[in-house]
Amino acid sequence: MYQSQAAPARAGLIHGLEPLAEDVADIQDARTRFVLITRPRTPPAPTGHDRTSFVLRVPNRPSSLVQALMELSMRGVDMSRIESRPTREHAGTYDFHLEIVGHIEDAAVAEALAGLYRYCEKVRYLGSWPQEGWVGGVSGPSGSVPPDYSDSRRWIRDLRRGRLRRGGHLDPEAGSERNRTV
């Protein structure tokens, strides 16, 4: 019995395999994606050049996919891939497989996922990982990095502590009684 598989050349080196054919791609710049499937676990640390993937199912009503995608758009999260697959449970229901730029540790990505969780019938997080091509510092496919929410989070933290800001900066008199109300 003979067995073969398509794999990166590095896999052959690691496992001592002899290549049967090389350069078999019918499109020169095509890239093959390999997926590591494991039990749920903590994602790798963010690198600043990450991707996150998940599957969602939206309610079967007009504009529901648009409403779900607005959770990404409102937060400036860049979607790099979307595919649909019929659920085979009910006519007209689909699961949407999405890949976005960013890591679950990025505030904008986490908030978008939380918004999708509140709206969608189903959200299944598949993982966050370093973007292909950034391993070893080599640039990969383009995409917009999610916005940095650290300043707005500090502002909320300060509001919760009773300190107000003026013009986006911490007010030195924020603790005084006259500044406790707006």
Q: Where does residue 177 rank: exposed (0-12), middle (13-18), buried (19+ CB within 10 A)?
A: exposed
Cβ proximity of 53 and 127 under 8 Å: yes
- Residue 71: name the closest of 88, 54, 83 by CA: 54
Query: Annotated catalytic residue: which of 32, 38, 42, 181?
Result: 32
Q: From the candidates 34, 38, 42, 181, which is the catalytic residue?
A: 34
The tally of CA atoms less than 13 A away on the side-chain side of residue 25 is 9
Single-letter amino acid, residue 133: G
**Catalytic site residue 32?**
yes
Active site residues: 32, 34
